[in-house]
Amino acid sequence: MVIAVMGLAAAWSATAADLSPEDAAAARKLYQNKCGRCHKFYNIDNYPDPAWAMWLEKMIAKARLTPEEAGRLSRYLQTLRPSHPQTGTAGDPSRP
């Protein structure tokens, strides 16, 4: 579990430059097929980094993503986030 969180944190700190156009397209498709089938897209900016990482970790496990898929998806989602709040509440997944 600790290793997974550390890996997720490392992937979350990646930048858009770490994601090739092919990886971005694959991650977008992964999101549509794995995440978007069950729920809407949640506005990442509504969550401080620790809360977003917690929810992302839970959903990665629920979707049974491989480590490669999880890293790609995490980097892709980061490119959609214009700001990176560091503090705040635990986040409410019901908030859009």
3-state secondary structure labels for all residues of the chain: CHHHHHHHHHHHCCCHHHCCHHHHHHHHHHHHHHHCCCCCCCCHHHCCHHHHHHHHHHHHHHHCCCHHHHHHHHHHHHHCCCCCCCCCCCCCCCCC
* pLDDT tens, per residue, the chain with 96 residues: 444 444 444 444 445 557 889 999 999 999 999 998 888 888 888 888 899 899 999 999 999 999 999 999 999 988 887 654 444 444 444 444
CB neighbours of residue 53 within 10 Å:
18
